[in-house]
Chains A and B, each alone.
Chain A
Amino acid sequence: MILDQLILPWLLAWLMAGLGAYLVAVLDRLMASGSAQVGSVWLAPLASAAWLMTQQATTTEAPDAPAWRLAPALYLALAAIGLALVPWSPTLVGVDLSTSLVLWGSLEALATVVIFLHGWSANSHLALIGAYRYVALGLSYLLISMFVLIGVALPAESLRLTEVVAAQASLWHVVSQPLGLPLFLVVGLGLTFWGPLNLADSADLSGGTAVERSGPPRLVWALARAAMLVAFSAIAATAFLGGWMGPWLPGPAWLLIKSLAVLVVLLWLGRRLPRLAPERCLTLMWVVLLPLSFVDLIWAGAVALWMA
């Protein structure tokens, strides 16, 4: 019992986090310039990680030391918990909670706290601006995420992720609730402050919350961000793309393929768009995306009733 209730979820989460983070680095590099890659694209993330390990870990004059050290590790832990929620097959789930959607929502909320702490604890001017700027975004994407996930839970009559996948047996949610996945992708970009929603670690703040990070803590932060991206992709594939469902391959393989597809789309969006100005980001999320998520919810309800 210890083996499959305690060790298996942990190993699943860590394996996916590790391999996924490596894959994110490789794919991102492939998409970055496309040309003029020096060295092998498979070795490059490992080389950068090794270089980061050799760097000295900077500290600042008067940081909040516990938070300064905990923030990257906490973000990594949140990503690992998220990965433990993902159902790989009807029987292979890390942690099969009856309210796994609620737990995922709470992870998103806690991610805002952790990212804010990462910037605030440094006691550095540019990092502070990055942290406070990110919180505006963090509080906004939370609502969109919840409405969209509730919409996914309606046909399943349950908040359990395995039931959500089972309810997609006839039609995947990406088809029956077409607004859901695009909105959820925006949430994913915000959760990992990736690409257009990179208000936390942006170039105009010289690296934002990570401006004073160097060395191994910076590596852990990058790892955590990539792992969270992977966890998000897996949840998105579970909730919208039918999870483990698919013809010839075994369930887990299908989930991997679908997660990879979502991951590629997120990385592509990250490279394709400029960073949103904070004011416009907030206006966009509350005035456009949130009403769209209301529409998505009503639509999901109507479809669920009609198909029941």
Chain B
Amino acid sequence: MAVSWQRRLAARAPAAVFLVEGARIGPVRETLALSPGIRLVDTPRHASVLVVAGDVPTGWRDDLRRIHDQLPAPFVSVWCCCESFEALCNPIRNDAVEALPQGVVETHRELMLGKRDSAPRLLPDEPPNSWEGLGDDGHGGEGMMGGTPYGRPMAMNMQDDLRDGLTLDTLTFRLGPFHSALPPGLQAEVSLQGDLVQTWTVTRKPFASVVEPIFHAARQEPVPIVEIELARARHHLRRLYRGLWIAGWPRLAERTLRMAGQLSPNSDIAGLRYTLERGGLWRLALPEPGRGALDEAQARQLGGPAARAAGIDDDLRSQDAHYRRLGFAPTCREAGDTAARWQQWLDEIEQSLVLAGQAARHDLKTAEADAVETPRGPWADAFPHDMSDLLGEVLPGLEWSEALLTLASLDVAALDLHPLGETRLPGPGHAGQKGHA
């Protein structure tokens, strides 16, 4: 079959992937980001492969359909640990995360060379509202703004602006569950005036955040401190990677991710820290001191590194005899704002690496079981709950990029209480049986 040279050349291009992250999936974004033949993009328009990794429950399916239809032809979807839609006759299912990059690259190549057809569109081809208008050209109509020209109403001014009190139009939309800057599964109704967030109402809570199995194991039995501290550093480095991506520093983000993949007790982040400071992350990119600050009650409820960045020095590790022997003391910062939280990440990574180095020399294990300080927060009898309503109090009044960087610094999802790899029975809210699309 004669494939044009253009298509053959296109098959050699890296696969542009829009990743949709669902519940209970490991570090799939990080795996795909490091693969050389794959380029992760921020919008489905720039992609030709839609990768859905992790379970997407029923309530989130409609939004997934919307995203699926937004990719330009020719496109294809790859499903990993998730039920695909029934309308897709021949979906590609690949449940092994390690084999996913290779599978995606091959799928892209097949798509370009014409061996695989482009996926069908799922939603019916209808405008959101029928074109409503009176008169010959559809001008005029009822309501203040003339009905719904071209399918949607126009924005209207609602309330005074938060910063300067001038009332101009408010733009309201739902920022979706699968946006790359939001925690997976979080949908919020955002209203903006200009680019300043006026209100942020969470309409769907994010999926529970997954921590490495060693944190779950630490609640059963003593585990080597080296392992648990390296896992903690890895978790924070991955959060830093996402934050740096949003902050517009992809090269350093990739370097951070590579470091996370190659952590050892001898690793050192001094170089990374130096690059971040000299590159002007705090002086130029992050919000100013004072923006995105949590007050004490909010910080205490949130727990974890965010609370320590606000000056609350609670850390379950200080109750552990072996940690005390290594000279552990919780690192804290006073200002509970976004800049402090980003600094806190670096502090905690450094502290974890130092602890891991020392523990490797003495070959220590944790002394306590039952209680573990996860990177998300303390887990003793109480576990970290979902705190996404906090966002509605912290984010209004911030400009868009400040709001997203603040969101990146806050870990508001609940903690997933079951480690990955444990098979769970499908419960309510899951897609469950085959045949449900």
Do A and B come into direct contact in the complex, CB within 8 Å?
yes
Interface pair A57/B72, CB less than 8 Å apart: yes
Complexed CA–CA distance, A47 and B195 (Å): 36
Which residues of B are found within 8 Å of A118, using beta-carbon distances? none
Q: Pick the interface stretch among A31-39, A73-81, A164-172, A255-263.
A: A31-39
Q: Pick the interface stretch among B85-93, B207-215, B306-314, B396-404.
A: B396-404
Q: Pick the interface stretch among A6-14, A141-149, A266-274, A290-298.
A: A266-274
Q: Which of A61, A125, A203, A214 contacts B72 (CB 8 A)?
A: A214
Interface pair A47/B12, CB less than 8 Å apart: yes
Instruction: Write the residues of chain A forming the contact surface with B, with a CB cutoff of 8 angstroms.
Output: 31-33, 36-39, 43-44, 46-48, 50-51, 53-58, 61-62, 125, 129, 132-133, 195-196, 198, 202-207, 210-215, 218, 271-281, 284
Nearest Cβ distance between residue B315 and chain A, in whole angstroms? 30
| B247 CB–A CB distance under 8 Å | yes
Nearest Cβ distance between residue B66 and chain A, in whole angstroms? 13
Complexed CA–CA distance, A57 and B74 (Å): 11
Nearest Cβ distance between residue A295 and chain B, in whole angstroms? 22
Q: Which of B171, B283, B288, B401 contacts A204 (CB 8 A)?
A: B401
Interface pair B10/A47, CB less than 8 Å apart: yes
* Chain B residues within 8 Å of chain A by Cβ, number: 61
Q: Pick the interface stretch among B147-155, B232-240, B357-365, B417-425.
A: B147-155
Nearest Cβ distance between residue B248 and chain A, in whole angstroms? 3
Complexed CA–CA distance, A277 and B249 (Å): 13
Interface pair A51/B45, CB less than 8 Å apart: no
Interface pair A279/B399, CB less than 8 Å apart: yes
Which residues of B are found within 8 Å of A198, using beta-carbon distances? 248
Q: Which of B149, B179, B285 contacts A276 (CB 8 A)?
A: B285
Which residues of A are found within 8 Å of B286, using beta-carbon distances? 277
Find the B residue at minimum CB distance from A213.
Answer: B45
Interface pair B284/A46, CB less than 8 Å apart: no
Complexed CA–CA distance, A133 and B400 (Å): 10
Complexed CA–CA distance, A215 and B46 (Å): 8
Find the A residue at minimum CB distance from B281.
Answer: A274
Which residues of A are found within 8 Å of B16, using beta-carbon distances? 51
Interface pair B43/A274, CB less than 8 Å apart: no
Which residues of B are found within 8 Å of A211, using beta-carbon distances? 42-43, 45
Centre residue among B43, B171, B248 by max chain A CB count within 10 A: B248
Nearest Cβ distance between residue A134 and chain B, in whole angstroms? 11
Q: Given known contacts A129-B400, A207-B45, what 12 new A-B pairs fall within 8 Å (CB)?
A: A48-B14, A50-B9, A50-B13, A56-B73, A62-B152, A203-B246, A203-B247, A203-B248, A206-B42, A207-B46, A211-B43, A277-B399
Complexed CA–CA distance, A138 and B41 (Å): 26
| B194 CB–A CB distance under 8 Å | yes
Q: A54-B10, A132-B195 are in contact. Are A204 and B404 (CB under 8 A)?
A: yes
CB-CB contacts below 8 Å: B254-290 with A: 254, 279-281, 283-288
Q: A61-B152, A62-B150 are in contact. Are A273 and B14 (CB under 8 A)?
A: no
Interface pair B284/A61, CB less than 8 Å apart: no
| B107 CB–A CB distance under 8 Å | no
Which residues of A are found within 8 Å of B36, using beta-carbon distances? 36-38
Complexed CA–CA distance, A212 and B151 (Å): 18
The 3 nearest A-B residue pairs measured at CB: A275-B248, A62-B150, A50-B9
Q: A54-B74, A277-B401 are in contact. Are A48 and B284 (CB under 8 A)?
A: no
| B48 CB–A CB distance under 8 Å | yes
Nearest Cβ distance between residue A270 and chain B, in whole angstroms? 9
| B433 CB–A CB distance under 8 Å | no
Interface pair A276/B151, CB less than 8 Å apart: no
